[in-house]
Structure 1
Amino acid sequence: MILTDNVRNNCENSFEFIKDILDMQNNLPIDSIEQQFKALLRDEHIVVEAETGSGKSTRLPLWAAIYGKVLVVEPRRVACTSLAEYLLTEEANPDQLSVGYAIRFEHHFDENTDIIYATPGVALRWLSEGNLAQFSTIIIDEFHERRWDTDLLLALLKQQQSHRLVITSATIDSQRLVNYLSAQHLQAKGRNFSVNVLHHASDSRDMPDVMNIDKRITRLVQTHIDSHQDILIFLPGRKEIASTQNALTQQFSEQIQAGLMDIIPLHASVTDDERKRALTKSDKQRIIVATNVAETSVTIPGVTLIIDSGLERRTHQRNGRTVLSLHAISKASSEQRKGRAGRVTDGVCIRLYGKAAALELLTPPELQREELVEAYLAALCCNARLSQLSFIDPLPEKTFIAAQQVLLSMGAMTENEVITDYGRCLYQLPIDTLFSHLITAMDTRANKEAMVDLAAALSIPQRLWQPPRSEENIEQLYRWLGNVFCDATALIKMVRMDECPEWLAVDDNMLAEARLLSVQMRELLELPELSVASRFKRDLWQDAVIKAVPELVFLRREKRQQAMSNGIIEVSSAKDSLIDNQTPDGSLSQAAIVFDQFALPGRGVKQNRILAMCSSPVTLSQINNAELGELVQGDTVEQHDGSFKTAIQRIYAGRVINTRWIEPEGQSARSAIVAMLLAGEVMPDLAPRIISDISQWNLYLALGLYNADFVKREPDSVDVIEWLSQQIEDLGIEHIDDLELFEPSDFTFEGIPEWERQEFDERYPREVKLTDLVMAIDYDIHRKLVVANYTSGNRKPDPKRWELPRWQGWRVQYRKASRIIDIK
């Protein structure tokens, strides 16, 4: 196997610690189970419980290779490349079995390779293509991380029963895996270096807390800095890492300037230099500030002190959406973090929470926390029905149904859970299902290329760029984008340019990854190379997007301009989005396609805050031309010449986006006539009478007073608008001018018999007049409640019960403005 220099350099750093251990001790902890493992693997599935660093990721594949080719599924790309590189050494692989790896952008193996390390995504694609048949044994490593793709892969392999399966886990939950697979259980004890655990909390039940975490950690580091060479600090995210790194840099500025100390961030998007400094031993004292990426898969040499915040950022379902929020870690994660301090010598772990803090035993699996669209599509492409797969933890029913509806609406599957050709086309693209759908739905090659490049930019793990802040650079950006503030256009241009302007704060590593992904998709879809990308017309491309997924169109709220809605959900612009920038004339785009959303838990129990991360402004005309929303008949007004015109409005997300005036005719005319009658614009005496007659009839029915022997009408409640519309149609009125041929007496509602009506109105009046007080009366039959609503009058005291009709057995309330009181 031939590796690039860049890959080789990155991999070498990950094995410094493994080599240190080999120098100290010829045997690894995993070696104690070698003979049992080889004997059982002939006929059994095996669950191996062993801590990270025990040697399981390198020894087990070599042992399994005696039975044929081995696929090792690793959750992270760095682990795939690093482990493959390590097994190239004669020290690690004395029999010199051939070893390769396969990750999203790189494949290094051939048909004769004995052991291949691959990410779960690659393994799932091979399974869907029938390419796993070449392997005799499949090892799923670090299963305790419970990624959705490893859970799905295991469920599919369990159903097929065509491979020997080896599952490794570093947690105490391995017995559930044993029962799930009917497997044998082997356990390898770790090294006996002790880790002293200290809890830095005011109460033993204190939970992890992010408040002032940078200051608290800085004080702890000051206290313990002289007792340790290297310190590893676990924090939930980049924000906390940046603030803590700044605080530590200020505190230890002298040591840093003297070249005695190095403070290094470690998360998913650090630079190659930062990653190398974190994973390589140094003469300097190092303080490594990391996310939970440092829990597994990477090895950090020399660390003897762990400071654990007890926090992580984790996805979960909330009100039907996947949101990212701050969580306390599980007990299993806390043990993983602690173990980082006891690799080569005794260590210390300081936990910023109480000893009795109510942590979860295990981190909930991703299939329980996230949307299932991608997992559902992957299962279908592997010719499996997600509803019939057996998972170690049952899938949430609501999330399953939601994913099913999404794929059905896209045409990716049938009602019988069978993948369609279109669904297989979507799965070929190594990106989110929504972006796959948009790419395949584009109507021209130029539009398809634009969507490919945008999808590539939005599918990388971190943000590609930061918009400028100075007014001068903002003006440059506006001109550079073609006189529009558009996130999507900016990303497409960056992916396509050989070199971006210096005033754009572009992450070169992320840009390189986005370009690689674009190149891969262009090859797959047989599109022109990135260097000769087709020019596209922005408005035509947007029209194609709107047609494909209309719910991506959002409209600004009229009263709260910072919020946008599509009639289903509301979003707010992310801080780094361009959509809220005013154009030189001071205008603000009123509508946009929102390509990327990020949901956060908001305040309150049931609220989410959804941020629009990538938006592309569209015009109201584009929305109207796409016929989004609904047409509603508005007011009818009289023209100067005595004719009438009716407004036909298109309403989207609660806002009128277009109004056209027509001469009312047919149903439109009838609706206009009804509106004018009810507004009293014509026959002003008709509406009060009809409304009173129909309201009393509905009350009469509700009170159970209907008697078929005396009442001609059927016992059905009546809607005023529907009744008037029917009367107009029955009378043959087709134009507003036709009303001149009729009198109010031509509109008669026959409801309560005449001989009963006067007595009924006295018992249940619709209006009550007292001295200086007039009230309109409403009746709530179900609650047996009468509400007297203030209409007019100068009377200040509230009405008394004795002044009102008897209403025996009814509760009575008086309402004036927002004030409501019970009348006793």
Structure 2
Amino acid sequence: MLKALPIDSIEQPFKTLLRNDHIVVEAETGSGKSTRLPLWSSTQGKVLVVEPRRVACTSLAEYLATDEANPEKISVGYAIRFEQHFDENTQIIFATPGVALRWLSEGLLADFTTVIIDEFHERRWDTDLLLALLKQQQSHRLVITSATIDSQRLVDYLSAKHLHAKGRNFAVTVINQASDSRDMPDIMNIDKRISRLVSEHIDTQQDILIFLPGRKEISATHSALKQAFSEQVTAGLLDIIPLHASVTDDERKRALTESDKQRIIVATNVAETSVTIPGVTLIIDSGLERRTHQRNGRTVLALHAISKASSEQRKGRAGRVTDGMCIRLYGKAAALELITPPELQREELVEAYLASLCCGAKFSQLPFIDPLPEKTLTVAKHALSAMQAMTEDEVITDYGRCLYQLPIDTLFAHLITAMATRADKEAMVDLAAALSIPQRLWQPPKNEETQEKLYQWLGNSFCDASALIKIVRSEALPDWLTVDDNMLAEARLLSVQMREILELPDLTVASRFKREQWQNAVINAVPELVFVRREKRQQAMSNGIVEVNSARDSLIDCKVEDNQLSQAMLVFDQFALPGRGVKQNRILATCCSPVTMSQIVDADLGDIVQGDTVEQTDGSFKTAMQRIYAGRVIDTAWTQPEGQSARSAIIDMLFAGEAMPELAPRIVADISQWNLYLALGLYNADFVKRQPKPVDITQWLTDQIDDLGIEHIDDLALFEPSDFIFDGIPEWERQEFDEQYPREVKLTDLVMAIEYDIPRKLVVANHIQGNRKADPKRWELPRWQGWRIKYKKASRVIDIK
């Protein structure tokens, strides 16, 4: 006999409606929806249950396979990345959204009658995409569960029926630990604050669930609690358990199974939905989470206050079996968002776009529940087009299908497929595997002694990328390396999976690769991965599009020979954080591989710009042709000026006063005054020969050089400044015009350059030289009748009246 649950109140209407309708089930935490609905749906055929998290997938499937939860012994299995437990006769399969999307692209969802998307209120991009695709196909009966008040939008979106079931049977007392009712959640000293709170409640023998934003805070709080309650832990009376996406199976089972010991479970929002944590009657809610959002065109990961919907979800973890308590570390009137914004509204869309195309749908035309941001959509479309993953009319290419086949970020998939040799492909596969796991694979050494050991271990390939590849490949790692064994196992599984897909050698017999050859292949495939250091700010690096800073844990600044930092590098992985300004981002380069400037030159990156022309000891001239990448000169070649190069060099020399020093000041004055003359409307066709058009000084000099037949710098010796005559303002009018509108004004111990802003009727007198302390007086200046006058000295600007 099944134990009664709140969700049971809707069993009959659910089974009746499911025959002909989509259903949106709104049910509070603890109602039993995640276990009962799959069983009810299985009466009408095979059921796919899409769970947003791997922990929920495995734990729900394992629980539903027990006699207690499933007395009729309906077959249950699950599918997550690297792990599948089901066969063709399994009636209910729990799967993550990524697995469900791949099955949809391969036509495998045809085996299912009903698709249940659980915990839809989390609004992940893959669940939003899956729902839009299934809505468009209209080939399955859909059941969507949501724990929030926003479920009516889902009902309207799907033209579905709405069922509501109450959740908790027991009261949960809420206590807000804040000095002011409006105080927002705060990360400051969170581990110490929680440790003090736990000390006040540890004697009650109740299990405690603590919500924290991430693994870093969990680790700090876990250590603080173990230190504070070491006697109870040693005596076997207390179990302090971390719970996040990458915990071990043992830690997960300890967290999700009742115990004789008192338990303190320190978790991320992985414990917020789906999973049942029995015995918990006290919640400590930090009110914080880490989530992504778009900021100035970048997806950044940042600390956020949770939404009111998440706050209720967390509270709902208590009060499952008896009255509970929820202590919130923020004010009762804190200005929390109503619901968490959808990922499709706050992340880059390349991966979602590609998944949609592989499922046979045009991403830009899918009927999403919320419209997609146009700017982010356009960026994703351009990225996939540049990779040749799709056609202009949004049809997936064979290359795009190849990219999607690899279970990693689209950029890494593109890099792998772009490698020309097998050895280079393998290197890219292993690096991509190491960078595609949910947590860091290793912690680089901080002390010089261990850094030296690492340097010896890596040899000439001392960099982040080479270290990751070698760690993934090595059967036996040095004991002085700090490596996360769980993440290493996952990275190796991912590498093995991709090697099988691409028919590459086993990981145990990985091919040796030549690092420079591999780097060159990467540069040619994705040039924007090449970054060079800023000349003045050496910690900053740029590729001409974005600026990054080397991360503290990167090896790029370690083991610097002769105090010379690597001036160019490939940046394979970036981590974006919000900066101080509302549009600023701080982007850290977390995985780098140093390259030489010559590698960048050989790849023909950057622009060639003509530099200075220098006279040689033999009287000849040479011009510097500079290659500029990301605002920095990375190579200079000296050439004999010829053609356009010679013409540009001649003009530069004239402006610099290195040839005919009296010419440039006169021509600049003549043409500047002519342009001002025209702008003031003083042109009179009866007296002026030149056409009334503004003149560009550089272009005029270029035309004069062509007209005079000057082809080489040496030819300048054949001409005089008098050969360059600009026929502009009539001579009889020029003196009076210069007096009324001078370009320069000289007073006692003060010289000013004059600018004219004609549309604003404004004169700006810029201080050039002179030690005069007093500002100029109006009567000392030209009349400039009807004009406003400003005096500018350095950053100081004043009105002269």
TM-score interval, normalised by the smaller of the two chains: over 0.9
Q: For 1:713-752, what per-residue CA distance to the aligned partner results, in whole angstroms no more than 9, with x for missing partners?
A: 3333222112211211222211111112211111111222
Could you tell me which residue of structure 1 aligns to residue 750 of structure 2? 773
* 8 Å Cα contact 1:228/1:304 also seen in 2: no
Looking at structure 1, the residues matched to 282 and 260 of structure 2 have their Cα atoms a distance apart, in angstroms, of 17
- Correspondence for 2:588: 611
The alignment's TM-score, normalised by the length of structure 1, stands at 0.94
Partner of 1:230: 207
- Work out the CA distance in 2 between the residues paired with 1:498 and 1:246: 31
SS at structure 2 position matched to 1:531: helix
Unpaired segments ≥5 residues, structure 1 = 1-21
Structure 2 distance, partners of 1:743, 1:642, is: 19
Residue 484 of structure 1 deviates from its aligned partner by 4.2
- The equivalent residue for 2:28 is 51
Compared CA separation, residues 95 and 227, structure 1 to 2 (3 A)? closer
1:113 corresponds in structure 2 to: 90
Q: In the superposition, relative to structure 1, how do residues 496 and 689 fare at CA in structure 2: closer, same or farther (>3 Å)?
A: same
1:243-642 equivalence runs, <5 A: 243-642=220-619
Partner of residue 710, structure 2: 733
1:445–1:527 CA contact under 8 A, matched in 2: yes
* Alpha-carbon distance between aligned partners in 2 of 1:326 and 1:748, rounded to the nearest angstrom: 66
Is the CA contact 2:78–2:86 (under 8 Å) kept in the aligned structure 1?
A: yes
**RMSD between aligned residues:** 1.7
Question: How far did 1:86 drift?
Answer: 2.9
Q: Compare 126-135 and 591-600 and name the one that shifted more.
A: 126-135
Q: Deviations over 1:513-557 (max 9, x none)?
A: 011111111111111111111111111111111111111111111
Aligned mates of 1:132, 1:335 — CA distance in 2: 34
Q: Distance in 2 between matches of 1:262 and 1:433?
A: 41
Residue 737 of structure 2 aligns with which residue?
Answer: 760
Task: State yes or no: 1:151 paired with 2:128.
Answer: yes
Matched, 1:178 2:155: yes
**Post-superposition offset of 1:95:** 3.4
Cα deviation digits, residues 168-198 of structure 1 (max 9, x gap):
1122221111111010111222241111111
Alignment check: 8 A CA contact 1:69 1:137 kept: yes
Offset, 1:622 = 0.9
Q: Deviations over 1:749-769 (max 9, x none)?
A: 122222322221111111112
Structure 1 position 393, deviation (Å):
1.5
Mark the CA change 1:328 to 1:789 in structure 2 (over 3 Å): closer, same or farther: same
CA distance in 1, matches of 2:586, 2:65: 49
Shift of 1:350: 0.9
Corresponding residue for residue 701 of structure 1: 678
Q: Structure 1 residues 258, 133: CA separation in 2 closer, same or farther (over 3 Å shift)?
A: closer
Give the distance between the partners of 1:75 and 1:803, measured in 2 at CA. 77
Aligned CA distance change for structure 1 residues 225 and 400 (closer, same or farther; 3 Å)? same
Equivalent residue runs for 1:704-723 within 5 Å? 704-723=681-700
Q: CA deviation at 1:583?
A: 2.9
**Which residue pairs with 1:18 in the alignment?**
none
Identity %: 82
Q: Given residue 633 of structure 1, which amino acid in structure 2 is its aligned partner?
A: Q
Deviation at 1:358, TM superposition (A): 1.5
Deviation at 1:247, TM superposition (A): 3.1
Q: Within the alignment, does 1:192 sit opposite 2:169 as a pair?
A: yes
1:131 aligns with 2:113: no
- Report the AA paired with residue 426 of structure 2: E
C-alpha distance in 1 between matches for 2:794 and 2:25: 71
Q: Show the counterpart of 2:763.
A: 786
Q: Secondary structure at the match of 2:357?
A: helix
Give the match's secondary structure for 2:557: coil
Alpha-carbon separation, structure 1, partners of 2:46 and 2:226? 50
Residue number in structure 1 paired with 2:636? 659
Choose 76-85 or 491-500, whichever is displaced more: 76-85
Once the two structures are superposed, residues 314-359 of structure 1 have per-residue CA deviations (whole angstroms, 9 ceiling, x without a partner) of 1111101111111111111111111111111111111111212221
Q: Within 2, Cα distance between the matches of 1:383 and 1:631?
A: 44
Instruction: Please give the secondary structure, in 2, of the residue aligned with 1:219.
Output: helix
Q: Which residue is 2:183 aligned to?
A: 206
CA gap of 1:112–1:794, structure 2 versus 1, over 3 A, is closer
Do the aligned partners of residues 57 and 797 (structure 1) sit closer, same or farther apart at CA in structure 2, a change above 3 Å counting? closer
Contact 1:228/1:305 (CA < 8 Å) preserved in 2? no
Deviation digits for residues 576-612 of structure 1, max 9, x if unmatched? 1101113343321111111000100111222110011
Distance 1:816 1:187, change over 3 A: closer
Map Cα deviations across residues 449-480 of structure 1 (whole Å, 9 max, x no partner).
11111111000000000011221210111122
The more displaced of 565-574 and 284-293 is 284-293
Q: Deviations over 1:40-81 (max 9, x none)?
A: 111100111223443322222222222222211111223223
Give the SS at the match of 1:363: coil
1:62-77 matches, within 5 Å, as 62-77=39-54
Corresponding residue SS for 2:302: strand
Q: Supply the AA of the counterpart residue of 1:402.
A: V
Aligned-residue offset at 1:415: 2.2
Aligned residue type for 2:333: A
- CA spacing shift, 1:440–1:715, aligned 2, 3 Å: farther
Q: Pick one of 770, 790, 793 that aligns with 1:816.
A: 793
Q: Are the equivalent residues in 1 in contact too, given 2:461–2:515 (CA < 8 A)?
A: no
List gaps (5 residues or longer) in structure 2: none
Q: 1:346 to 1:768 in 2, by over 3 A?
A: same
Q: 1:741 & 1:712 partners in 2: Cα distance?
A: 28
Could you say if the C-alpha distance between residues 230 and 85 of structure 1 is closer, same or farther in structure 2, counting changes exceeding 3 Å? closer
State the AA in 1 paired with 2:714.
D
1:502-521 CA-to-partner distances (Å, cap 9, x unmatched) read 11111111011011111111
Cα distance in 2 for residues equivalent to 1:281 and 1:375 = 39
Q: Which moved more, 1:76-85 or 1:320-329?
A: 76-85
The 3 A distance-change label for structure 1 pair 112 and 243 is closer
- How far apart, in 1, do the equivalents of 2:321 and 2:674 lie? 88
2:241 is equivalent to residue 241 of structure 1? no
One-letter code aligned to 1:137: T
Match status 1:160 vs 2:137: yes
Q: State how far apart, in whole Å, the 2-side matches of 1:264 and 1:198 are.
A: 24
Q: Whole-Å Cα distance in 2 between the matches of residues 90 and 301 of structure 1? A: 18
How many matched pairs? 801
SS of match in other structure, 1:585:
helix
Instruction: Give the whole-Å Cα distance in 1 for the aligned partners of 2:351 and 2:680.
Output: 55
1:674 matched to 2:663? The reply is no
| Residue identity opposite 2:706 in structure 1 | E
Instruction: Determine if contact 1:594/1:616 at 8 Å carries over to the other structure.
Output: yes
Q: Note closer, same or farther for the CA distance 1:795–1:199 as it changes in structure 2 (3 Å cut).
A: closer
Shift of 1:89: 3.0
SS of the residue 2:300 aligns to: strand
* Aligned counterpart, 1:35: 12
Residue 6 of structure 1 corresponds to which residue in structure 2?
none
* CA contact 2:29–2:317 (8 Å) conserved in 1: no
